[in-house]
Structure 1
Amino acid sequence: MNQRRCFSLSLVLLLVATSSLAAERPRERVRIGVSSKSIGFFDVWAAHEKGFFRKQGFDSEVITIRPNLSVVAVQAGEIDYSMMTSTVIRSAVKGLPLKLVTIGLKSSFHTLVARGSYKSLVELKGKKIAISNVGATDELVARALLQKAGLDPRRDVAMLSVGASETRFQSLLSGQMDAATLSLPHSVLAKQQGYRFLGSAGDVLHIPFTGLSTTTAKIQRERESIKRMILAQMEAMRWIKTQKSEAVQFMRQFFGTDEATAVESYNVYAPLIIDDLRVTADAVRAILDSEGAATIPWTQVADATLVEELLQKGQVR
């Protein structure tokens, strides 16, 4: 049996065992912060809607919140987890007691999309670009693309924080913005409507995207609860990766896309999935490098031990 099949079988056995135990205990309320109702957080929405959180004993609530506010909310106990990886790590670098405990995707899939009249990044000089928030992954992508084209993101363009991918897309459609960083499915929708792709995350940044983050205090006090959250995320990712037709149908219904958009979005998303959600030194260092914080020890901003303990318990090789 090859390594991938060993992992899948072990994960199934582990999920069955833990979900049986979860069914015997009272449901625990859990609140997860995401920046938008978009395919960027497909795993969380699927875990919530398909019952994977409930299977692990949680009464889940997914809350849309701006990335910078999510770290404040986690610290204050208003939400339990944030899925905004880059924002959390940037805050942890500054000393906030937050850590990343899983990584869901190998890379971001944000795309810088502009009106059809713009044929190159250089032509965006003096123009307005919609981003979600300063320090968020999409802003890092836009900044890196502009720098690669020889532009100064601070002086040559106006990057404006307007919120979620859907809002950024609407600002582009309305003509308020000349360009926007878009996530799935909005990047696909923009392409279908004649907008031009000027670059994507894969062209400039190879940093992991989306993962569970929480406070160091919660990691110390509630390790078993966090592990059950990780198992729910694992099962959601496994469902997405192995049940394409169901996942595409979910995209159509939940995100309101047509068949072609859902299939194209799935084909971008699925290959980026990290099956075991492992937090690795190289992955975290890539994020630190993008934040100009290469000298910070990666263990200051991430905790790999929870996933590792689960994988050992499940005898995953």
Structure 2
Amino acid sequence: MTNMTTFGNVQRRAEALAANYHDALVPVKEMEFADLKTVKIGGEPHHLRRVARQRVAARLGIPHPYLERCPAELQAEQLNYWLRGERNEEFFVRFDGAEIRAVFTPRYTPADNLEVLERLADIGVMPETKVQVALDAEFMSLSIPDQNRTFEVKGDRLTPGISVSNSEVGLASLSVKAFFLRLVCTNGLIAKTEVSSSYRHVSARILEELPQALGQVQGQLETSKDKMMISMTSPVSDPDATIRAFNRQFQLSQREQEAVAWGFMREFGDTMWHVVNAYTAGAQHSPLTAEENHKLQVVGGMVLGMVQ
């Protein structure tokens, strides 16, 4: 679920999440799986969180759904067998206390949320700046509206800005995109722009180029404003069927589809603007993770981008 808060509060929340974070290069030969959820490192057991389990399975070439269905003994046998063929001598492992939150190859350098927030502060985002955020241990979606650029489209007041998303555990690359905040309901829409700056996780280059990316994305806002106007006057004969089709196209999970249905009840109507806002309103549904929230805001922007 998203919420409006201040940039300073986001910094403090990120610091609290990171209180017990630490990273280590772990020799592969010191790792032994007891099952899918537990790996011993130097004989000490460590719990693997969901994303870490998925990444390990993918790295070793074992379908994760298959592993989940296997008994613990077979999980250990499969994982340890393929681990012995791993060509890297070490893994880059991200810990939260004793738990493992992510496993990468040594060449993969993830961007930390605190680094991203520090860079935003360096380029002028103040602690008291109002922002929209969805933040958990796996994903950060931070949107910064520019209150000085609020505009109106057919009576609907919107504030443009930029959205920065990042995953410390590898769910997505650091990304900078255009953002619109609908003031009547604080729905957030992450626009499909011609300039969408995404980077693989090489922290130094990402953080150096962040100011340029922000400037490029802001230059694309006018295109989205025009599409909003068109969407408000574009009738949809069967909104439910249209939403179901988009749900299939963007491969939404059952929980995400339920959130969109909830959002459409809040934004009920028969234009493309109502369809777009079913997704952006759905992003505020409380059971969603930060990643799911971000996805629905992005899908809303993708749907808007299709408007002709």
Using CA pairs under 8 Å that are at least 6 residues apart, name the structure with larger relative contact order, 1 or 2.
Answer: 1
Q: State TM-score, norm by structure 1.
A: 0.24
**Structure 1 or 2: more helix by fraction:** 1
**Structure 1 or 2: more strand by fraction:** 2
Q: State TM-score, norm by structure 2.
A: 0.24
